[in-house]
Structure 1
Amino acid sequence: MRVMISGGGTGGGVYPALAVVEALKARQPDTVFLWVGGKRGPERDLVEREGIAFEAVPGGPIAGVGARALISLPRIAAGTLRALGLVRRFRPDVLLMTGGWVTIPATLACWLSGVPVVILMPDLEPGGTIRVLSRVAARVAVVAPESARFFRPGQAIETGYPVRPALLRAAGYDVLGQPLGEAAATRERARKRFGLAEGMLTLLVSGGSTGARSINRALTTSLERILACEGDGPGCQIIHISGRLDQEWVQRRADELPPELAARYHPVAYLHTDDMALALAAADLVVSRAGASTLGEFPLFGLPAILVPYPHAWRYQKTNAEYLVSRRAALRLDDDRLEEDLAPLVCGLLKDGDRRERMAASCRALRRPDAAARVAEVLAGPVQAASTESRGKGT
């Protein structure tokens, strides 16, 4: 099978598609891939690091009017012409796209060329690009059944959120979501990696790869109070992923702590996948934004969460957070209430082990370790249908 993939702009559309790539390789080792993305996004480095061929095409957002639209339309046209050439040369059997305006040229090119289009929607609600391009898609793989209402009847298929293979292995699953019998990431390994104390509750705070300044400020303002929270033992310990932009001043704040508290506060700028897996395995509670990955990664590790949706973007993070809240797997904390409410919420959950365990159980119930394998099956459907139709025309 020859699979063209289009996604990028942020890591949110790249990582789940890479998980599907690994599932496809496990199912069909001779599968060939070509990734079509933007010229300036992070996708090229992420994709080429995995040994996948990458081609960049111009493009632009379809939303907006006036000067913005005048700039975008010629770029989309040029990108579509470039993508048409790539389709002719690569001859894909199917396109997998994950949304964002960088996917417009490849999607239009495949549609015009008669190549089936399958959308993988990482979030619970479609953005503008997916809303428009779903009209030309054969199937849409969605995280939860609630998302089916945005698409025509029978078009959406629930698969779950495809989690990165390294995190699957860390939680004890192979790339197809089958149990391995033993998790690669254990609390003992996490304690050694981060210097954590045994028998003490661990809070993980993360704002994503670039950090979240409002979360960083609220946490550092309340550090002494949160570190002194009595959970199942005296106080707690914190792994804080600050992002590179705030690393310097967060470290200065850490240096101001008394030695007995500083020993329990572990700020880092960024964690690569293996270390992130250890942090997730170590945590008893997490505070984070509500990006798409929370829908897959927190359930995989059964992590109760306090979710802080990013307020300066489209509503998808609020929708993601509300979904986990409605399933009693998380609490939502609005960004403008962080400094007032973060410490009381964290301390309240650290002190209430029964509530944390109920939230963890609810989170685990949403676990879909075989999501990438399910998306791989969805991709195979239109390919098989096209093959059957082709054979029928040949008889």
Structure 2
Amino acid sequence: MQQTNEPLRIVLSGGGTGGHIYPALALCQRLKETNTSVEFLYIGSERGLEQRIVSEAGIPFKSVEIQGIKRSLSFENVRTIYLMYTAIRQAKKYLREFNPDVVIGTGGYVCAPVLYAATRLNIPTIIHEQNSVAGLTNKFLARYVDRIAITFERVRNDFTKYNKKIRLVGNPRAQEVYQLVDKNQLNINNLEAINRVKQVLIVGGSRGAEPINEAALKQYELWKDKPYEVTVVTGRGQFETLNEKYKEIIPHNVHLKEYISNMPEQLMQTDLIVTRSGATTLTELTALGIPSILIPSPYVTNNHQEKNARDLVDKQASRMILERDLTSETLVKEVDHLMGHTEQRQMMGKNAFEMGIRDAADRFIDLIDELVNNI
């Protein structure tokens, strides 16, 4: 990023889920490391997670009122149109006051009024699509913005009319995660460490995934006497109930945890992970080269988690169990197979690592530089 006497001013927008927020924060952190003169403003919704997360990160936050459009005929869509109009007006006010050099949207319906307002004010704009299938908001914004940053090649198919705008940059979270770990441990899955018990991590996200917890624990006796340890991260909403139910009866090689705060470090001690296939999760797995069994959530827009997972499965970097096929038996059978075939598991980790884009934040910064200085 070129240094000037004037600070670089960047507006970020994204919300609804952590998958839209954390890439933005990772980009902010890298920009602070590479540019001593940079200022941020985050525009989001008070109803999403972003206000708390962004404020805790120390980034100025402003909000607009907006809601997603219903896919069926509904009177609420009339209100959505009204809120969109008023949110665009409010966003224009914020943008005129802050006078940014570039506006970046990382997903979620709150981006629609903010990025659209920026294009009307002739401010350079970028949208970032983290998934293998484009979200509705990014599809809407694609025709207006200057650049479309993508994480997976597959998503180009959703932006065929705008191919000249597309840049493959990856997910800034990958670079952040890679920088957090001890590089000496990166070959942990390629070494048969002496006196180290193999580790399987089962996690459904910070709030947990009930179907995954049930499959992991309902027939807990299936894990007994396995030559590896199993850690089930239940999520904050389910830990107390499950711990009370199972703590006295599960095998000694099975451990329950509520939440893991240092996930990158935990992943480096993991031989196999069973998890969902959200964009941020896959970014972390490919950044570090962790073999995985993916169980896509079927409750997401456009079934994008299954399409995310298929990107890894097609490259033999992961195995997949659809939730409709998930039982205790299928889960244990799949875990047993991979834990018993070390070479296959190691190859999966190697293939995952080759998919990772570990300089994603720097690529994004180059894209900002290109846009700000040349548009």
TM-score computed with the length of structure 2 as normaliser = 0.91
1:95 touches 1:116 (CA, 8 Å); kept in 2?
yes
Structure-to-structure mapping, 1:216-227, within 5 angstroms:
216-227=213-224
State the partner residue of 1:358.
Answer: 347
Equivalent-residue separation in structure 1 for 2:76 and 2:369 (angstroms): 38
State the partner residue of 2:235.
Answer: 243
Amino acid in the other structure paired with 1:3: I
Equivalent-residue separation in structure 1 for 2:187 and 2:152 (angstroms): 29
1:304 touches 1:359 (CA, 8 Å); kept in 2?
yes
Q: Pick from 347, 364, 381 the counterpart of residue 370 of structure 2.
A: 381
| DSSP 3-state at the match of 2:29 | helix
State the partner residue of 2:82.
Answer: 74
Q: What are the ranges of 5 or more consecutive residues in structure 1 without an aligned counterpart?
A: 173-180, 188-196, 230-234, 387-395
| DSSP 3-state at the match of 2:238 | helix
| DSSP 3-state at the match of 2:343 | helix
Amino acid in the other structure paired with 2:263: M
1:37 touches 1:43 (CA, 8 Å); kept in 2?
yes
Amino acid in the other structure paired with 1:372: A
| DSSP 3-state at the match of 2:126 | strand
1:118 touches 1:139 (CA, 8 Å); kept in 2?
yes
Say whether 1:160 aligns with 2:157. Answer: no
Equivalent-residue separation in structure 1 for 2:334 and 2:374 (angstroms): 52
1:22 touches 1:165 (CA, 8 Å); kept in 2?
no
Say whether 1:39 aligns with 2:46. Answer: yes
Equivalent-residue separation in structure 1 for 2:140 and 2:307 (angstroms): 20
| DSSP 3-state at the match of 2:367 | helix
2:23 touches 2:173 (CA, 8 Å); kept in 1?
yes
RMSD: 1.9
Structure-to-structure mapping, 1:1-395, within 5 angstroms:
1-64=8-71, 65-151=73-159, 152-163=162-173, 167-172=177-182, 198-229=195-226, 235-257=227-249, 261-262=251-252, 264-272=253-261, 275-314=262-301, 315-339=303-327, 340-386=329-375
How many residues are matched? 358
Residue-by-residue CA offset, 1:34-73 (whole Å, 9 max, x unaligned): 0000111111121112211110111121353331211211
1:186 touches 1:282 (CA, 8 Å); kept in 2?
no
Residue-by-residue CA offset, 1:256-279 (whole Å, 9 max, x unaligned): 326xx33x322111122xx21222
1:148 touches 1:157 (CA, 8 Å); kept in 2?
no
1:211 touches 1:246 (CA, 8 Å); kept in 2?
yes
Equivalent-residue separation in structure 1 for 2:369 and 2:220 (angstroms): 50
Equivalent-residue separation in structure 1 for 2:195 and 2:280 (angstroms): 28
| DSSP 3-state at the match of 1:115 | coil
1:34 touches 1:55 (CA, 8 Å); kept in 2?
yes
Amino acid in the other structure paired with 1:331: R
Equivalent-residue separation in structure 2 for 1:267 and 1:198 (angstroms): 23
2:178 touches 2:288 (CA, 8 Å); kept in 1?
no
| DSSP 3-state at the match of 1:365 | helix
Equivalent-residue separation in structure 1 for 2:164 and 2:28 (angstroms): 25
Equivalent-residue separation in structure 1 for 2:141 and 2:225 (angstroms): 51
Amino acid in the other structure paired with 2:270: A
State the partner residue of 1:175.
Answer: none
Q: What are the ranges of 5 or more consecutive residues in structure 2 without an aligned counterpart?
A: 1-7, 189-193
Equivalent-residue separation in structure 2 for 1:9 and 1:240 (angstroms): 26
Equivalent-residue separation in structure 1 for 2:371 and 2:82 (angstroms): 31
1:15 touches 1:164 (CA, 8 Å); kept in 2?
no
Equivalent-residue separation in structure 1 for 2:359 and 2:348 (angstroms): 22
Amino acid in the other structure paired with 1:265: V
Range with bigger deviation, 369-378 or 143-152 = 143-152
